[in-house]
Amino acid sequence: MASVETSVPQTTISMLQDKAAQLRIDSIRSTTEAGSGHPTTCASCAEIMSALFFSVMRYDPKNPRNPRNDAFVLSKGHAAPILYSAWAEAGLFPREELLKLRKFDSDLEGHPTPRLPFVDVATGSLGQGVCAAVGIALAGKYLDKIDQRVYVLLGDGETAEGSVWEAAHVASYHKLDNLCATVDVNRLGQSQPTMDQHDMEAHRARWAAFGWNAIVVDGHDLNALLEAYRTAESTTGRPTAVLARTIKGKDIPGEEDKNGFHGKALDRKQAEEAIASIGKSIHGNGAWKPTLPSKSSEAIAAPVESAFPPPPYAPGKDEIATRKAFGSALAALGKADSRVVVLDADVENSTYTEDFQKVCPDRFFEMFIAEQNMVGAAMGLSAHGHIPFASTFACFLSRAYDFVRMAAIGDNNIKLVGTHAGVSIGEDGPSQMGLEDLAIMAAQPNITVLYPSDGVSTWASIKLAADIQGPVYVRTGRPKNPVVYQPTEKFEVGKSKVLRQSGSDLLTIVASGVTLFEALQACDTLKAEGINVRLVDLFSVEPIDRDGLIAAAKATGGRVLTVEDHYAHGGIGDSVLAALSDQRITLEKLAVRRIPHSGTPEELLDKYGISASHIVEAARRMVPA
Amino acid sequence: MASVETSVPQTTISMLQDKAAQLRIDSIRSTTEAGSGHPTTCASCAEIMSALFFSVMRYDPKNPRNPRNDAFVLSKGHAAPILYSAWAEAGLFPREELLKLRKFDSDLEGHPTPRLPFVDVATGSLGQGVCAAVGIALAGKYLDKIDQRVYVLLGDGETAEGSVWEAAHVASYHKLDNLCATVDVNRLGQSQPTMDQHDMEAHRARWAAFGWNAIVVDGHDLNALLEAYRTAESTTGRPTAVLARTIKGKDIPGEEDKNGFHGKALDRKQAEEAIASIGKSIHGNGAWKPTLPSKSSEAIAAPVESAFPPPPYAPGKDEIATRKAFGSALAALGKADSRVVVLDADVENSTYTEDFQKVCPDRFFEMFIAEQNMVGAAMGLSAHGHIPFASTFACFLSRAYDFVRMAAIGDNNIKLVGTHAGVSIGEDGPSQMGLEDLAIMAAQPNITVLYPSDGVSTWASIKLAADIQGPVYVRTGRPKNPVVYQPTEKFEVGKSKVLRQSGSDLLTIVASGVTLFEALQACDTLKAEGINVRLVDLFSVEPIDRDGLIAAAKATGGRVLTVEDHYAHGGIGDSVLAALSDQRITLEKLAVRRIPHSGTPEELLDKYGISASHIVEAARRMVPA
């Protein structure tokens, strides 16, 4: 590691100045060609990007997916053009590609996505990249144990986002000295100056108060930047924040440090003038040679996989809550697959991820009551080859919904498990009930949504979640329920299970979770009345078992009754409706239709119309007289 | 205002000690009776609650809704039993009521909701009450201009939530010296110690770094607490944070400062012992007399309402984006109704709320890039009689979704307007596209969701939003569209509009927003082919125009085609399906079915299957040959 006293040769500084100028030129040129984008946002961080990409970071410019590369996350995603320019300048692709910025046939999109090989997580919703960087740093320091540094670039306006401070707090708690954040303090937001403008002491005090080594520099002074990054490298036990005072629109004539130029491409004439002006400072002294990733580091451990055991549950044995089966399955999976990592938001004794922690303490990370950063860190971990399960009460995953949205955009391989779904949690009241989790998770077009009902299906869902490539959500509940499946039962994504059927079924009932047990009771009551019904355990909400549902609906006169411990919009009723939309069926949806109240689980299932008696009533209404 | 030197008579301290003991006893008794709840969480803050409720706060204990009362928000909502105990002790209701805690027939729920007259916003999702308190403080200081102080109590584990720091940052920016936060630093979270445990300097440094007057005290020392609150009262130009070092489970034998007792009610025997032990310290010296709210304050201005003008748009005139019409309508509404307040997340020049700021600068609050706190502050403002419109890009409202969830639970009168919906924003790419906003907003059972298509209907929707009591979401878009309605057209919640119809329609097309204009084009093409179709502008997504949709479906052979610039799950297609679920119809849903890419708006509408040509194709498939 370089000591902070090492002085940098002037030829290096000169080379870096040239690179910074070139990055400014390329950012201007590409945004002008696109007719939109954020050139002034790029201009403020040109020296920062030059220092990182052409001096500080060790990486293979021909192989951005090399897991030993130092990692870089552009948390201020709207500076995408300068990120693309840096990789072009590093030689990954020809500079002319930059002129395809923001076009449909290029992956150089308006904001970065992992469609590009040098992007781990999609950014463009501010305050998220820094959380992903925490996940990457956790992976590098504690799991892969490699000599890798993680750099993340934020904007100053971005630090108004609370998720930044969630990341800052958890990063210092976990002593992530391999993590270095740079804040490009260019004083101006989109519509006006930021809260702190150029009050660098305010910026410094905040990061220091969160336990970071906080260094203030002139963000256009390459010597100062390099020294700060060297200090960061030699700092142990805590992460470093480089707070770089910069000028928005730096070196763009007429736009420096001025409000009103955010997100505005220069017109062609302005661009030509700016490029000519900036180009004058390029001297062409000194060539860049990449510093390849360290070879001396320990090998990244290859994933170890062994057989995942069958579930220890069977019908007729003890009742079990799906959240408890989740915890047990996760512990078993952790022992079977070294890629599995678990993140908790201080509820491990309610979600039972404590079972995983007991057997795999080194792969369990406590992220405290900060769900946004928990999901963001999972995104970062997933981008570096791990399979993170992030879990809390289903309702509190809504806290991280914008992160879930961005994880879907990036198709990150994260696994979210929500516990305590629905009114069946009882006395804690509506603030603790997940009643919209299916709606919000299934809304994303690439999230697989599983909703197991008993211990056996929960056990299977956790293994399926790990095996699927891409984001997965599993819904679990608080109350204990009987086991309905044999431990040998096979579950598949996109397949439902028929639990009751006869040759004379008049109605299909579709349920999952606690309402499956209400429906089973209802089936018995109805059968005693001479009404045979078909009962489907949906299990896989997205993708849904369209063929199975069509077959059931066709066999039962096109009469379908859905029942769910979820609000009426966007839950399993709506998913079933969508699957059967061209079948000319009739469907009644039993769901929670108003804000619930505290009470006992049994009371609430009944008060909100989703108990066995309501199912029986609806069935009687629906079947032919 | 009291000076900090005033010493408190020992009789007062003794009275407050008695009250603290009584609050502990009542919290234990009620949770034991309920069989669940958080007695140890209450025990740590008993002196804080006693000091605030029986010495510091000026309020009418018989009229908790008196707008001049000092405000109190329990941000650590799981301490609900001690809040209820405090109001019982203050005389609002008989102490025996406390034994109904968590029961269905009592509004003393597991976590506080505004069903109770002394609760402004539902809490129980941590880190939200402090944001609501910012809104209440903004109202008191800048709108109502009354001599009112706002107190909020947080837990220490709660300060891991980023929203706390969003609130802290914005509160100091807006110089909210009428705001005082207390952090009950009891060292223990749910499952383990907090990140900072009893490191009071870490706590102090953070609040100070965010510009607050930060005071560390022993949270069980009533003299110290009272002195801190007096200092807070006399501090100008910035809010105060009282960081109170406390013992979780204080005075509960065997549970003090011990992990493993979070959220566990004592059994009856333990409770009796604890109550007997705590009861010994009650001496019954000194009676409490409430300090009523100040009478010297200026009158709260009565709302001023004048006529809301008709929209300045008409068919055939200029095209206008619905986001632009939103900004103009909001400015007009601001002039017509003094209750209207606008909150922005540094995008006022994209959402056009800058139009409101120009005409009503005193009722415009810049909340910077911190959407959670923006929505939380709106909740607080709404609880104090204002009508807050909080607006940003539709996708970024997802950042505040847990706040939206809690606003629904509290039925807060907030108005959310999302701009830049859908792929039709174009080049900025998926991170900036709101494609799940309808799904997440309509999921809540009491949020009204409006989706206007042109300038006239947008204008109407903003007035409707203000007039509806309860949470409302309005979806607007980026591109310019023609005006289709006459300025005199009347719009209603729950009513759609039929834009094309004939006596021989073969299909109903339902659209809104940009896809309405694609559908209009498609109607012309189809008509030229001899295919008459009925075109419905949905306008009101929730509640939906069930009767209108049934009539249209029945008139068109039960054939329905929906088209939306939204993901397929939970959007208008699913809402229409749910409305027609018992009609045995056939429905095809055109929607965005995968993660989109950057491109031009026209290109993207076509690539993702929601352009006029796709509508024409689908219609041809659906109508009888």
Measured between alpha carbons, how far is A375 from B401 in angstroms, rounded to an integer?
A: 15
Question: Could you give the angle at the alpha carbon of A252 between the alpha carbons of A248 and A258, nearest 5°?
Answer: 45
- Chain A residues close to B41, C-beta within 8 Å: none
B398 Cβ under 8 Å from any chain A Cβ = yes
Which of B206, B344, B346 faces A209 most closely, judged by CB atoms? B206
Measured between alpha carbons, how far is A21 from A43 in angstroms, rounded to an integer?
A: 9
Q: What is the mean pLDDT of residues A96-104?
A: 98
In this model, does residue A19 exceed pLDDT 80? Answer: yes
Measured between alpha carbons, how far is A499 from B104 in angstroms, rounded to an integer?
A: 33
B445 Cβ under 8 Å from any chain A Cβ = yes
**Helix/strand/coil for A195:** coil
pLDDT tens digit sequence for B387-428:
999 999 999 999 999 999 999 999 999 999 999 999 999 999
Contact between chains at A542 and B396 (C-beta distance less than 8 A): no
- Chain B residues close to A431, C-beta within 8 Å: 77, 110-111, 113, 122-125, 406, 409
Query: Among A102, A61, A74, which Cα is nearest to A184's?
Result: A74
In this model, does residue A1 exceed pLDDT 90? Answer: no
Task: Return the residue in A130, A170, A191, A353 with the most chain B beta carbons within 10 A, the one to mutate for interface testing.
Answer: A191
Measured between alpha carbons, how far is B88 from B532 in angstroms, rounded to an integer?
A: 67
Which of A189, A439, A594 faces B570 most closely, judged by CB atoms? A439
Residue of B nearest to A604 (CA): B104
Active-site residue, from B109, B158, B348, B371? B371
Query: Among A564, A568, A447, which Cα is nearest to A510's?
Result: A564
Query: Among B457, B450, B449, B417, which Cα is nearest to B311's?
Result: B457
- Chain B residues close to A126, C-beta within 8 Å: 369
CA R_g for chain A? 27
- Determine the pLDDT at residue A4: 46
**Helix/strand/coil for A188:** strand
Which of B36, B368, B570 faces A569 most closely, judged by CB atoms? B570
Measured between alpha carbons, how far is A270 from A273 in angstroms, rounded to an integer?
A: 5
In this model, does residue B442 exceed pLDDT 90? Answer: yes
Instruction: Show the tokens assigned to B1.
Output: 């205002």
- Chain A residues close to B348, C-beta within 8 Å: 191
Q: What is the mean pLDDT of residues A75-79?
A: 98
Q: Chain-wide mean pLDDT for chain B?
A: 96
B104 Cβ under 8 Å from any chain A Cβ = yes
CB-defined contacts A:B, below 8 A? 349
In this model, does residue B3 exceed pLDDT 50? Answer: no
pLDDT tens digit sequence for B559-590:
999 999 999 999 999 999 999 999 999 999 99
Measured between alpha carbons, how far is B564 from B549 in angstroms, rounded to an integer?
A: 16
Q: What is the mean pLDDT of residues A90-97?
A: 98
Active-site residue, from A89, A158, A371, A564? A371
- Determine the pLDDT at residue A550: 98
* Residue % of chain A over a pLDDT of 90: 95
Exposed, middle or buried by CB within 10 Å (0-12, 13-18, 19+), for B223? Answer: middle
In this model, does residue A471 exceed pLDDT 70? Answer: yes
User: Is residue B204 within 8 Å of residue B168, measured between CB atoms?
Assistant: no
- Chain B residues close to A582, C-beta within 8 Å: 586-588
- Chain B residues close to A542, C-beta within 8 Å: 569
Residue of B nearest to A162 (CA): B162
Question: At which residue do the structure tokens 């009739």 appear?
Answer: A586
Closest CA–CA distance from residue B86 to any residue of chain A (Å): 20
Task: Return the residue in A105, A431, A435 with the most chain B beta carbons within 10 A, the one to mutate for interface testing.
Answer: A431
- Determine the pLDDT at residue B297: 52
A126 Cβ under 8 Å from any chain B Cβ = yes
pLDDT tens digit sequence for A406-432:
999 999 999 999 999 999 999 999 999
- Chain B residues close to A594, C-beta within 8 Å: 445-446
Check if A298 is active-site: no
The pTM score is: 0.98
Contact between chains at A595 and B166 (C-beta distance less than 8 A): no
Element (H, E) at B71: strand B71-74
* Residue % of chain A over a pLDDT of 70: 98
- Determine the pLDDT at residue B2: 39
- Chain B residues close to A578, C-beta within 8 Å: 568-569, 573-574, 577, 589
Question: For chain B, what's the residue count?
Answer: 625
Which of B34, B161, B430 faces A427 most closely, judged by CB atoms? B34
Residue B299: pLDDT band by 50, 70, 90 thresholds? low
Residue B295: pLDDT band by 50, 70, 90 thresholds? low
In this model, does residue A157 exceed pLDDT 90? Answer: yes
Q: What is the mean pLDDT of residues A150-178?
A: 98
The amino acid occupying position A314 is A
Residue of A nearest to B543 (CA): A569
**Helix/strand/coil for B92:** coil
Exposed, middle or buried by CB within 10 Å (0-12, 13-18, 19+), for A458? Answer: buried
Partner B, chain A 491-530, Cβ-Cβ below 8 Å: none
Residue B409: which residues within 8 A CB-CB, separation 6 or more? Answer: A430, A431, A595, B113, B122
* Residue % of chain B over a pLDDT of 70: 98
Contact between chains at A431 and B406 (C-beta distance less than 8 A): yes
pLDDT tens digit sequence for B65-82:
999 999 999 999 999 999
Closest CA–CA distance from residue B167 to any residue of chain A (Å): 9
pLDDT tens digit sequence for B332-368:
999 999 999 999 999 999 999 999 999 999 999 999 9
Say how many C-beta atoms besides its own lie within 10 A of residue B470's C-beta.
16
pLDDT tens digit sequence for A483-510:
999 999 999 999 999 999 999 999 999 9
Residue A3: pLDDT band by 50, 70, 90 thresholds? very low
B444 Cβ under 8 Å from any chain A Cβ = yes
